[in-house]
Amino acid sequence: MLSHKPWNPESLLWLGCGLMLALAPGAAVAGLFEDGSIAQMAANVTALPVAILVAVAVWFQANRRVYQSPIRLADTFGFNRNNTGRCLLLGLATGLGLVLIAMVLALLTNLLIQSLGDHAEPQKLVTLIAEESAKKENIRTLIFFVVMAVAVAPIAEEILFRGILYPAIKQIGHPLLAAIGTALLFALFHVNLLTFASLTVVALGLIALYEFTDNLLAPITAHAVFNASNLIMLFWQ
């Protein structure tokens, strides 16, 4: 069961403001590049997780300086060295299981869309990585996107969606809304019709894992394994 989080609820306003302010420079930089270009995609991929991490830093400081209720990583996200190995193993197993579930749901979604006489495009980032891996020329660009997808994005997204938003909504008395609402928001965050259903289920699985372990390391690991597995399958195509 997820433990009670010690932060001040009003401090979440600082988190939201910090996120919006941090996203603005990234959006401005991305707008300088040609639409659909590698440079623009790199700017977008960098801006989102960096903005999340900056907003979280602002949020921590707001709790400390404005509300005089300093919080620690261990208290906020349940990081505990005593169960690190267990969380890593559970994260690995859950991530692999979620890959299989997501594949089935994505296939069913694609069939449904086709039956309606339409077709869904894969995420632009997925398409870009596939193209770069096929070229085998710009290895640095490929490594950059892989690192962002497997390491940086899982950490930033898990901190925001499972680490903060989910327990925040749950603690004000709406556990069902917290789970379903943040799962849908997570799926919408990736802006892709083909993966919407599968990512919603993935998010619910990550929430269940966080509830079970009370340590954000577990869903971070599962998220990283999920992304890495999808990249491996993409490279093998």
Which pLDDT score, from 0 to 100, does residue 135 have? 66
Among 91-100, 134-143, 209-218, whose mean pLDDT is lowest? 134-143
pLDDT bin (cut points 50, 70, 90) of residue 134 is low
pLDDT bin (cut points 50, 70, 90) of residue 17 is very high
Q: Per-residue pLDDT for 115 more than 70?
A: yes
Q: Work out the average pLDDT over 132-161.
A: 83
pLDDT bin (cut points 50, 70, 90) of residue 126 is low
Nearest to 77 by CA among 214, 219, 206: 214
Torsion angle of the four alpha carbons 209, 210, 215, 220, in this order, in degrees rounded to the nearest 10: 80
The angle that helices 124-135 and 217-236 make with each other, rounded to 10 degrees, is 50
Q: Per-residue pLDDT for 173 more than 80?
A: yes
CB count in 10 Å sphere of residue 196: 17
pLDDT bin (cut points 50, 70, 90) of residue 57 is very high
Which pLDDT score, from 0 to 100, does residue 34 have? 77
Say what percent of the chain tops pLDDT 90: 49
Q: Work out the average pLDDT over 190-214.
A: 92
Domain range annotation of the chain: 9-236
Q: Work out the average pLDDT over 100-116.
A: 88
